Amino acid sequence: MTDSVKIMPKSSPQQTKGPLVAALAYDGLCTFEFGIAYEVFGLPRPEMGEGWYRFSVCGIEPGPLLAAGGLTVAVDKGLEVLDEADLIVVPGWRSIDAAVPEPLVSALKAAHQRGARIMSLCSGVAVLAGSGLLTNRRATTHWRYVASIAARYPDITLDADVLYMDEGSLLTAAGSAAGIDLCLHVVRGDFGSEAANSVARRLVVPPHREGGQAQFIHAPVPEEREGIRLGPLIEWMRESLSEDQPISLLAKRAGMSMRTFQRRFEATTGLSVGEWLLKERLRHARDLLEKELAVSLDDIAAASGFGTLATMRHHFRRRLGTSPNAYRKSFGG
């Protein structure tokens, strides 16, 4: 039997004069995403003055609500909070396929029409999509949900390769921790970089990651299938990224003709040889930038197989939307 813990968030807005942020609470509440919203917008920050955010919790259905992890959430405010909210946060959703209750749809549409901003974190994009707010708009979500959302809502342009998307009054964040980046982005726009940096320091996170930065999805070596035994060769390729790897050499090591090797490699990995090597070189370069702070960028470029720093910088900009130096500053530990 799972023990339950009762938490009672403050549903009434704090007594400041700033924008009112309303975070949705629902049965099956995603506690991590909700915690992000509260940490950024709900914690008292007297150093910010009286203009800082007010924070309220909006229960979309009668409580008590059962949250993820066996928590019981008691909320004393309902959808009426959305009538006055300046910013509405949808902290995940109970299931990517779960229907959005009609009263919530109506309340979100009314809030959006009067000018409120609405933000989704991770799977919360399903609520915005199900409410019709993202029709003919761009959005993002956790990469694992992109295919499902795209299939159900083909009129939404989904980008799986960004941390967050700011479409003015509609904002969407990618998976889980990317919600922190979007919330800091909002703080930066509302109160400036100094305020956003102060909040980031409290959270012990990088103060600024661009929304266009990729989600950095790691693709492991695929399992062998259809009798194709390329696993050992792929491991060798990964361990030898600093070396030239022409297709002729790889095909010879695999004991195949070049044409057969290219066809089977793509069937196994889903990528061409060149595309796979580029992704692996970017992955290796990122690992070195994060862990080997004393190694120069030129040496990392060579060790990753890019040859020159200029080439590595080009691919970082084109694929990740950032530079090697900026990546190291954000993630180097």
Per-residue DSSP letters for 224-249? P-TT---HHHHHHHHHTTTS---HHH
Q: Work out whether the CA dihedral 246, 248, 253, 254 comes out positive or negative.
A: positive
At 214, the pLDDT band (50, 70, 90 cuts) reads low
Tokens 């197989």, residue located:
305
* Mean pLDDT, residues 271-299 taken together: 91
pLDDT value at 236 more than 50: yes
Comparing 156-165, 210-219, 235-244, 309-318, the range with the smallest average pLDDT is: 210-219
pLDDT value at 251 more than 70: yes
- Strand bridging mode 164-166 / 170-173: antiparallel
Greatest extent of the chain over all pairs of C-alpha atoms, in Å: 73
Q: So where are the chain's domains?
A: 5-203, 231-331
* Mean pLDDT, residues 138-161 taken together: 91
- Strand bridging mode 117-121 / 54-59: unpaired
Torsion of CA 47, 51, 53, 56, to 10 degrees: 120
Distance CA 39, CA 325 (A): 29
Q: What is the pLDDT of residue 201?
A: 82
Q: What is the pLDDT of residue 218?
A: 45
Distance CA 225, CA 264 (A): 10
Beta strands in the chain (DSSP E): 5-7, 20-25, 54-59, 65-66, 71-73, 87-91, 117-121, 138-139, 157-158, 164-166, 170-173
Q: What DSSP state is assigned to residue 165?
A: E
pLDDT, greater one: 309 or 224 = 309
Share of the chain above pLDDT 70, in %: 88
Which whole-number Å values give the CA distances from 129 to 35, 42, 85, in the listed order? Answer: 23, 26, 20
* Range 231-331 has CATH code 2.40.30.10: no
| Closest C-alpha among 190, 53, 174, 80 to residue 125 | 174
**8 Å CB contact between 150 and 158:** yes
Q: What is the pLDDT of residue 207?
A: 59
**55's tokens:** 């924070």
Q: What is the pLDDT of residue 226?
A: 35
How do residues 254-266 score in pLDDT, each as one tens digit? 999 999 999 888 8
Comparing 24-28, 113-117, 191-195, 203-207, the range with the smallest average pLDDT is: 203-207
Comparing 79-93, 119-133, 183-197, the range with the smallest average pLDDT is: 183-197
* Mean pLDDT, residues 201-215 taken together: 63
The angle subtended at Cα 48 by Cα 45 and Cα 49, nearest 5°, is: 105
Distance CA 166, CA 149 (A): 18
pLDDT, greater one: 213 or 291 = 291
**193's tokens:** 């970089």
- Please name the CATH architecture into which domain 5-203 falls: 3-Layer(aba) Sandwich (3.40)
Highest mean pLDDT among 14-23, 117-126, 163-172, 225-234: 117-126
**264's tokens:** 């089977």
**8 Å CB contact between 185 and 121:** no
Tokens 């704090």, residue located:
14
Query: Is the bond leading into 232 cis (omega within 30 degrees of zero)?
Result: no
pLDDT value at 220 more than 60: no
Torsion of CA 244, 246, 248, 252, to 10 degrees: 50
Q: Do domains 5-203 and 231-331 have the same CATH topology?
A: no
**Mapping DSSP to helix (H, G, I), strand (E, B) and coil, where does residue 111 land?**
helix
